[in-house]
Amino acid sequence: MEFKEYIEKFLNRFSNEIGIDLGTANTLVYVRNKGIVVNEPSVVAVNQKTGQVVAIGTAAKEMLGRTPQHITAIRPLVDGVISDFEVTEEMLAYLMKRAGEFLPKKLLGPRVVVGIPAGVTNVEARAVRDATRNAGARQVYIVEQPMAGAIGIRLPIHEPVGSMIVDIGGGTTDIAVISLGGIVRSKSLRVAGDKLNADIISYIRNEFKILIGETTAEQVKIAVGAVVPGNPIETTIRGRDLITGLPREVVITDSDIREAMGQSISVLIDATREVLETTPPEILADIMRRGMYLVGGGALIKGLDELLSHTFKLPVTVVDEPLTAIARGAGIILEDIDRYRSVLIHSEDDLSANQ
C-alpha cells in the first residue's frame, strides 16, 4: 500500500491537475494558477450522416433549434447526469484539450476533480468517472457538487458549524446541509433552470397559443422572470401561432412568467423545507443564524432570495458569481488534494457505499 502511494506521488509529477464542473447547462474547467479557463454551454452538434462532431460549446448552443435535418444539437447531460455517454466523452476531451493550452506539457494525462450531483446512483457516478477517464484523465476524483460549491465559496466546511447551500443549476437543484467535512442532509431534485424553461414554453402555448423554442424561453426567464412582484417588466416575444402556423408577436409580463414558474418554485420551497425539518437542532440553530447560500445560475432568479428568506425567516445570500462556484471549489480541492481527501469519492468502494 505504501509502495503504491509512493508510486502515485512519483507519477503525479508528470500530470497536470484540473477541476471540472460538468453541468447540465454549462461545463467549466479550472486550472491551477490560472482559474477558470474554459466556460462553455454543455452542447454538442453532431452530423447524423457521418457521426462527426460539428461544433461544441457556444457554437453548438447557437445551433439549438436551428439545425438542418442531418445535424442535431445534443445536450449530453440531462437532469444533472450523463444521458449520452459518447458525446459527453467527446465534449470533455475537447474542453480538457482547450484547458491544456493553459498548462505546461506533461507526459501523463491530468488528475481531474469532477463534481456530481449529491445522491446520484452508483452507476451514474461511475459514468462520470469513466467518461472523464476516457477523455484522457489519468486519475479522477469525484466530489459531490454541493460540497464543491461550499468549498468554492469558502464556507467553513471542516468546522463543527452547520452551513446550508442550495445549488440551482440547469438540470438539478441540490439542497445540502454541511458540517464537519460531511453532508449531513441533502436533497437533489430535478427541478431547476431547464424545468422553468419548459414551464414557460407550456404556459405560453396554453395562454397565448404560441409555440416558442427553448432558447427564447430561457431569454424570457432571465429578462422578465421574477418570483416576487416588483416593478412591472415586459418583453415582446416571437413564436409560431399554433392555429395559423405563422409567426406572431406577443407581449409577456413578469406576472405571466411568475405564474408559469409558480408550481416549480413551490416544489423547490417544499424541498428546502423538508431538508430544514430533518436537520438536527444544533445545526439548524447555526443555519438560522448564518443563513442559506444560493449558488448555480438559478440563484440569479430575481426575488428568489427574498422569497426564501421571507418563507424560512433566515438570511439568504446570493453568492458572487454563482455560476462558477462549483468549478472554483473543484479548483481549491485540486490545489490541496490531501486536505480535502475526506470529501472526495474516489474509489470503487466509495462509489458503492454511495449507492
Which residue number, 25 or 36, has a Cβ lying nearer to ligand ATP?
25
Site track for Mg ion across 167-196, x = CB under 5 A: --x---------------------------
Does 152 bind Mg ion (CB under 5 A)? Our answer is no
Note whether 210 and 200 are within 8 A (CB).
Answer: no
Q: What is the DSSP letter of 235?
A: E
Q: Which stretch binds ligand ATP (CB under 6 A): 12-20, 43-51, 186-194, 200-208?
A: 186-194
User: Cβ–Cβ contacts within 10 Å for residue 77, how many?
Assistant: 25
Q: What is the closest distance, in whole angstroms, from the C-beta atom of residue 188 to Mg ion in the complex?
A: 11
Note whether 199 and 260 are within 8 A (CB).
Answer: yes
**Residues in 42-101 that interact with ligand ATP by CB under 6 A:** 80
Q: Which stretch binds ligand ATP (CB under 6 A): 47-55, 214-222, 249-257, 267-275?
A: 214-222
Binding partner of residue 170 among Mg ion, ligand ATP, none, CB under 5 to 8 Å per kind? ligand ATP
**Residues in 157-176 that interact with ligand ATP by CB under 6 A:** 169-172
Give the 3-state secondary structure percentages of the chain, helix then strand then coil, rounded to 5.
45, 25, 30
Q: What is the closest distance, in whole angstroms, from the C-beta atom of residue 302 to ligand ATP in the complex?
A: 7
Does 149 bind ligand ATP (CB under 6 A)? Our answer is no
Which residue number, 8 or 321, has a Cβ lying nearer to ligand ATP?
321
Q: Which of 68, 65, 86, 66 is nearest to 77 (CA)?
A: 86
Which residues are 15's β-sheet partners?
Answer: none
* Triad 60, 129, 111: Cα angle to 5°: 95
CA distance readout (Å), 348 to 8, 21, 126, 130, 209: 17, 21, 9, 12, 51
Could you tell me the three cell numbers for 112?
481531474
Does 23 bind ligand ATP (CB under 6 A)? Our answer is yes
Q: What is the closest distance, in whole angstroms, from the C-beta atom of residue 170 to ligand ATP in the complex?
A: 4
> Which chain residues interact with ligand ATP by CB under 6 A?
23-26, 80, 169-172, 192-194, 218, 221-222, 225, 296-298, 300-301, 323
